[in-house]
Amino acid sequence: MKEKRSLLRNSGFQTFSTSILCILLGMFVGYLALLIIEPSGAWGAIVAVIKNFFKYPTGAARLKYFGSTLAKTAPLIFCSLSILFAYKVGLFNIGAAGQYCLGVALALYLAIVLQLPWWVCLLAGIAAGAISGAICGLLKAYFNVNVVISGIMLNWISLYGTNLLLKPAMDPSGKDTFRLVNKAKQALLPTLGMDKLFNNNQYVTIAIPLAIIVAIVIWIILDKTKLGYELKATGNNLHAAKYCGMKENRNIILTMVIAGGLAAMGGALYYLSDFEQWNVNSSAVPGMGFNGIAAAFLGGLSPIGSIFSSYFITHITIGGGNVDLSHYCAQIADFISAVIIYLCGFVLFFKTIMNKWLNKSEEKKIARARAAAEDTNKEGGNA
Amino acid sequence: MLLLLQYTLIFASVLLLVALGGCISEHSGVINLALEGIMVIGALGGALVMKFLPYTHGESSAFLMFICVLGASILFGVIYSILLAFACINLKADQTIVGTALNMLATALATVVVKSMNTALNPDDHSSEIKYIDAKKAFLTNIGKFELNWFMIVSVLMLVIVFILLYKTKFGLRLRACGEHPQAAASVGISVFKMRWSGVMLSGLLAGIGGITYITAGVSTWKFENGVAGFGFLALAVMIFGAWDPIKIAGAALLFGLFRALGNVYNGFDFLKALNIPSAVYNMLPYIVSLIVLAFTSKRSRAPKAEGIPYDKGMR
């Protein structure tokens, strides 16, 4: 007989509730920080962060900015998929930020300088990220180099490389690359009429449905295929996997290739939608890759969960730009997401406490039932 | 040439300080990936003192300024490292996630603090910069044309202290035991928690000094949005290259410092200028070198055996 289990025991439910707890605690710490900076407007500021596009009075404007939020969510979904995919195989792909840069670099170079169509640019971008991931994987598999450190080194190399490559694509009137609308119309991503749905927001492109489709594909690969099983086994115990005849080095490299390709795909799609232009004097690696870490862990390391967590992180990051800038700064949203990831580190701890508490209350229940049964037995004996 | 030497020494000092911090922490059994973040917060502490402590060069006491800046950086660094220690040692959290989170948090926190401070002082100022042109002169001494930064001396002192602490004292022996086999250490009455806490806090102290040294190396204003450009991770590469041994780490730091310095001063060499290599290549150089070096040195790793594994009393 299948034992009836409490909902609280369900691991999916536990993950969901701990994520919500992390969000609430993170928001609270953010609110405290706002209170310290300037108490009078703190509530208004935190509301602005949460509201994001709901601040617009008309439905049409809301719809348009909802579209923009979605357009910015898509690359984040890719980055978080990249990180969670590698993490399931026991590798921490902090190099996602650099792979994202390389995706942008190749896509924009092919689009603006070589004037190629969008799908060529996209494929080239993905290839660049995959190669960067492969370097990381090779170094790990054959030279035992820590992926976190090689990832960070590749981030900086990729950043300067991207700046160098995109110099010829720079608009001389500023420091950014040319807008695709003006210089490379053939490379703009198709919208398939979705822009009409969002009040003619031209940034709503196929990138958004693609992100969701890829998330589902990653979920299927990880949970429903032999390849996914092998990869996860390699992550859980390298030696056991090797003993079972799995090619552990191939698995590590393959994982990093896929992870690198995913992050780069996000970067390429985002910049081919023309939402942003690359600043060729960038001195910091874009935050998208690092926010991907937040989204991956907040989503409970599930591909489907990461769709929602990516949306949430993008929502508050854009909302951060709406705070009253005479007292506060937009980075308060970054601060909140960083606190949330820090708290996500405790997820295991939260779960252990929850299970301990459940065990205790169950034991008590059993003890009480036993005591009650003994009492009735005694009464029966006396009679 | 003198300029190259000067920049090499100052960048080597930064890397040495931070790598020594990483070394102590790893010998106690905790991988400190948050070094980068601790550097940012330590730098913030020092920069705040330099901004608010009144100082006119030649009149006020340079030594007082130096001590206050050093003290603030240490204080900020140690306090920030407590966040890592608490999460990784007491709550047994994943050290990689927490370290990464703390790096992101440090940059966000420093940006928020500096921006809101600048805005509070001047409503039109939304930058994340702190300027310390005058205050910085307090710890620079010119010897001929060579500009000696006092933090270079601090880093050499720290090298000696860390070496003695790790290899010549009872404390060092116990600390290292906790990184190699914590259960064995616990069985002879050593408190693994205490040792790991002190390892992480000492690394906070060293990385804090490293942070302030970095932002006073060659510049006199710092934009906190930029963090410290991966220097905490370069220091980890230095530590691995130096095989977790303070003396070898010092040698590795000099090598990496040289490559980093080339990016600052290559314009001063006619033959390098004639090659006409874009500046981005020089910027990439230290990172490329570290990748190559890591590829050759990581195979036979001398890492402490129990690093990165949360201590569990029941495990054998």
Cβ A346–B91 below 8 Å, yes or no? yes
Task: Give the residue, A114 or B273, on which the prediction is more confident.
Answer: A114
A128 pLDDT band (50/70/90 cuts)? very high
Residue of B nearest to A165 (CA): B280
φ, ψ (nearest 5 deg) of residue B34: -85, 10
What is the SS3 assignment for B223? strand
User: What letter would DSSP give residue B87?
Assistant: I
CATH node for A13-360: 1.10.3470
Tell me the longest C-alpha to C-alpha distance in chain A. Answer: 102
Secondary structure string (H, E, C) spanning chain A: CCCCCCHHHCHHHHHHHHHHHHHHHHHHHHHHHHHHHCHHHHHHHHHHHHHHHHHCCCHHHHHHHHHHHHHHHHHHHHHHHHHHHHHHCCCCCCCHHHHHHHHHHHHHHHHHHCCCCHHHHHHHHHHHHHHHHHHHHHHHHHHCCCHHHHHHHHHHHHHHHHHHHCHHHECCCCCEECCHHHHCHHHCCCCCCHHHHCCCCCCCCCHHHHHHHHHHHHHHHHHHCHHHHHHHHHHHCHHHHHHCCCCHHHHHHHHHHHHHHHHHHHHHHHHHCCCCCCECCCCCCCCHHHHHHHHHHHCCCCHHHHHHHHHHHHHHHHHHCCCCCCCCCCCHHHHHHHHHHHHHCCHHHHHHHHHHHHHHHHHHHHHHHHHHHHHHHHHHHHC
Residue A83, CA distances (Å) to A148, A254, A288 in order: 12, 14, 12
N- to C-terminal Cα separation, chain B: 56
Asked if residues B66 and B139 have their Cβ atoms less than 8 Å apart, the reply is: yes
Average pLDDT value over all residues in chain B: 88
> Amino acid identity of A322?
N
**Among A135, A144, A281, A343, the residue to mutate for chain B (most B Cβ within 10 A):** A144
| Contacts with B81 from chain A: Cβ below 8 Å | none
Residues 6 or more apart in contact with residue B230 via CB below 8 angstroms: A152, A153, A155, A156, B36, B287
d(CA B248, CA B242): 5
Q: Which helix (H) or strand (E) holds B209?
A: helix B192-215
- Asked if A92 has any chain B CB less than 8 Å from its own CB, the reply is yes
Lowest mean pLDDT among A218-222, A248-252, B81-85: A248-252
pTM (2 d.p.)? 0.88
On the question of pLDDT at B12 being above 70, the answer is: yes
In angstroms, the separation between the Cα of residue A120 and the nearest Cα of chain B is: 27
How far is residue B29's CA from residue B183's CA, in Å, rounded to a whole number?
A: 12
Shortest CA gap B136–chain A (Å): 24
Interface of A with B in 38-67 (CB under 8 A): 38
- A353 CB within 8 Å of a chain B CB: no
| Residue B82 pLDDT exceeds 50 | yes
* B226 contact A CB<8A: yes
Between CA A316 and CA B3 the distance in angstroms is 46
A162 touches chain B (CB under 8 A): no
- The three-point CA angle B23-B27-B30 to 5° equals 90
Write out chain A residues lying below 8 Å of B299, CB-based.
143-144
Among A336-345, B65-74, B108-117, B300-309, the minimum mean pLDDT is found in B300-309
- Residue A2: is its pLDDT beyond 50? no
Q: Which residue has the tokens 């959290």?
A: B93
Task: Report, as an integer, the average pLDDT of A212-241.
Answer: 91
Are B101 and A344 in contact (CB < 8 Å)?
yes
What is the per-residue pLDDT across A34-81, written as a single tens digit (0 to 9) for each? 888 888 888 888 888 888 888 888 888 888 889 999 999 999 999 999
Would an 8 Å CB–CB cutoff place B85 in contact with chain A?
no
So what's the pLDDT on residue A1?
A: 42
- Judged by CB atoms closer than 8 Å, whether chains meet at B240 and A157 is answered as no
Query: What's the CA gap between B30 and A246, in Å, rounded?
Result: 31
CB of B225 within 8 Å of any CB in chain A? yes
**C-alpha pair distances (Å), B52 with each of B65, B134, B218:** 11, 12, 21
Residues 6+ apart with CB under 8 A from A126: A103, A261, A264, A265, A268
- The answer to whether the beta carbons of residues B218 and B7 sit under 8 Å apart is yes
Instruction: Report in angstroms the alpha-carbon separations of B293 from A155, A252, B232, B243.
Output: 17, 21, 17, 12
Q: Which is nearest to A310 in space by CA: A217, A212, A221? A: A212
Residues of B in contact with A334 (CB under 8 A): 104, 107-108, 111
Average pLDDT estimate for B267-293 = 83
Cβ neighbours of B104 in A, within 8 Å:
290, 293-294, 334, 337-338, 341
The whole-number average pLDDT for the span B186-190 is 90
Closest C-alpha to A210, from A81, A108, A115 = A81
Question: What is the ipTM metric for this complex?
Answer: 0.84
Q: Are B104 and A284 inside 8 Å of each other by CB?
A: no
Position with higher pLDDT, B58 vs B151: B151
Q: What angle do CA B169, B309, B192 make, to 5 degrees?
A: 40
Residue of chain B with shortest Cα separation from A159: B284
Quick check: B56 pLDDT over 80?
no
**pLDDT above 70 for B52:** yes
Residue B20 has pLDDT above 90, yes or no: yes
The end-to-end CA distance of chain A, in Å, is 36
Rounded to an integer, the average pLDDT of B48-69 is: 84
Contact B237, B68 (CB under 8 A): no
CA distance A121 to B282: 28
Does B299 lie at the interface with A, CB-CB under 8 angstroms?
yes
Tokens 């080339």 -> residue: B262
Bridge partners of A279?
A176
pLDDT at residue B176, as a whole number: 93
**Alpha-carbon span A43 to A24, nearest angstrom:** 15
The tokens for B42 are 């330590």
For B108, which of A92, A94, A331 is closest by C-beta distance?
A331
To 5 degrees, how large is the angle CA B30–CA B32–CA B49? 130
Backbone angles phi, psi at A247, to 5 degrees: -85, 95
Residue B316: pLDDT over 70: no
Select from A145, A154, A342 the Cβ nearest to the Cβ of B102.
Answer: A342
**Residue range A266-280: mean pLDDT, rounded:** 93
User: Interhelix angle for A96-108 vs A118-143, to 10°?
Assistant: 150
pLDDT (mean) for B134-163: 87
Whether residue A369 is predicted with pLDDT greater than 80 in this model: the reply is: yes
Does A157 contact B at CB distance below 8 Å? yes
- Greater confidence (A93 vs B62) lies with A93
Strand-strand pairing, B221-223 and B129-131: antiparallel
pLDDT at B275: 76
H/E stretch holding B222 = strand B221-223
- What pLDDT, on the 0 to 100 scale, is given for residue A6? 66
Domain ranges of chain B: 2-236
